[in-house]
Structure 1
Amino acid sequence: MSTPLTADRLLKALKDEGLTVVQVGNWRTHNRNHKGPWGPVNGVMIHHTVTQGTAHTVELCRAGHSALPGPLCHGVIDKAGTVHLIASGRANHAGLGDDDVLRAVIAEKRLPADNEANTDGNRHFYGFECVNLGDGRDPWPAEQVEAIARAAAGICRAHGWGAASVIGHSEWQPGKVDPRGPIGAPDGPALTMARIRARVEQLLDDDKPTTPSTPSKPKPKPKPYAPPAFPKGLAPGRKAPSARGLQRALKAAGFMSKGIPEADSYGPATQTAVARFHQAHPAYRAAGLHYDPAIGPRGWAALHTVAYGKKK
């Protein structure tokens, strides 16, 4: 058993399922609560309207008629799949039904045949009237069928119910046949509550948001490693510019022992390490420079890429 959703939570539950929702007039306070209790709520009931046209149907369900005052449901689902909210609270949609069916809904078990009319369904069920002539020939567009399942799933999700909490009027009250008719075309498959509940179950089993996700922005490609500028004038035997940066790169690349102290001087140890780098570099071997102890701008860039490029 559950406390009925507030108007705000009902609206959010439907929108969170990706539905297009129209709020009609004073729907937040439009109800029949003065005629009987609203809640505890136990399920969602689906009806067909036996009408044509969205505007006419919405107004009829909102206002009702002399024999049955409105609201006649909580929401009207039109042929395009839009949900028109017309009430929050008790509504005249379910009438008297079978208490055995109510107990099965609460327990989320297989429904028994409805053969009694002894229990107030308006108290226990959210109701959706769906635009359809109800003659068994008027087709149900796929968009409308999907909206029915999503509206039911949204309420079930908000209450923590399963798909077995969704029933048709025909399963509640003896003599009722709604909803019925073919899906998509006059010769299409029949709309059944089993089909609707199967889709509700799929939606409830889906942990991902049902609303379309916003495509994420592609991550920028990492910039290629750019070595520092070659110190002009760096040459064997000199102390300026300092050879410390060259020595650190040679150590990082594995051509100079890390135990050799760094110094400004481009001395013999640095020259030997540079020659080792040239010996290991195919381009320098091919050019006959594989024993060259001096390093120029291209060698400097190649050494730094070997030493640091893969870490960037």
Structure 2
Amino acid sequence: MSSPMSADRFLGSLRAEGLTVVEVGDWRHHNRNHKGPWGPVHGVMIHHTVTRGSERTVDICRDGYTALPGPLCHGVITKDGTVHLVGYGRANHAGLGDDDVLRAVIAEKALPHDNEADTDGNRHFYGFECENLGDGEDPWPDVQLEAVEKAAAAVCRHHGWSERSVIGHLEWQPGKVDPRGFTMTSMRARVRERLK
């Protein structure tokens, strides 16, 4: 059982992994904690944004929209590999997902197929939104994929987790397809190598 790291430790961990990090507004206190607890944390969830343009993407992820208030993640990874911190605490990114998947993440075992949505993921996962249209055609620059790898590894390194604590939204919630354009199997392999 892991308590979330402090906001300062999160920032420090990302920078120690070699990432370029931009702090957006009062990100340390921008959260949805009034809607429920954040923690214990068990993993890192990767998403794509279905947006184009870094500034617009960061704004949407910070502020959200009428049906889904922000923050929509903790960090936004833009195409240039920069991590923009937009919130810290509970964020509207994971939604309801499969309790069997959560148990597998906690045990760091192979993930079962997600076939139900009965567990609050916003409570248990760090979330990174990645700037991409998610259409399978919008490219993922190498520098962006490297930043996804580093961000996930930074969180895992702090908590003593393996790459099996890194999942995609599509592995958590039935019907989700993100991230689309690379596989989570390949990303976990990259995280595993980095954690060595």
TM-score by length of 2: 0.99
Distance in 2 between the 1:196 and 1:13 partners? 19
Distance in 1 between the 2:64 and 2:179 partners? 19
Aligned to 1:12: 12
Letter in 1 for 2:188: R
Unmatched tracts of structure 2, length 5 or more:
none
* 1:214-262 Cα distance to aligned partner (Å, 9 max, x none): xxxxxxxxxxxxxxxxxxxxxxxxxxxxxxxxxxxxxxxxxxxxxxxxx
Aligned residues: 196
Aligned to 1:305: none
Aligned to 1:229: none
RMSD: 0.4
Unmatched tracts of structure 1, length 5 or more:
182-190, 206-312
Aligned to 2:171: 171
Q: Report deviation, 1:170.
A: 0.2
Distance in 2 between the 1:153 and 1:169 partners? 17
Q: Out of 194, 198, 206, which is 2:189 matched to?
A: 198
- Give the number of the structure with larger relative contact order, counting CA–CA contacts within 8 Å between residues 6 or more apart: 2
Aligned to 1:308: none
Letter in 2 for 1:30: H
* 1:43-76 Cα distance to aligned partner (Å, 9 max, x none): 0000000000010010001000000000000000
Structure 1 runs of 4+ aligned residues shifted over 3 Å read: none
Q: Report deviation, 1:90.
A: 0.3
Distance in 2 between the 1:195 and 1:138 partners? 18
Structure number with bigger Rg: 1
Letter in 2 for 1:62: R
Q: Report deviation, 1:153.
A: 0.1
Q: Report deviation, 1:82.
A: 0.3
Please give the residue correspondences for 1:85-96 in structure 2 after superposition, counting only pairs within 5 Å: 85-96=85-96
What fraction of aligned residue pairs are identical, expressed as a percent? 73
Aligned to 1:127: 127
Distance in 2 between the 1:204 and 1:34 partners? 34
Distance in 1 between the 2:26 and 2:63 partners? 12
Aligned to 1:155: 155
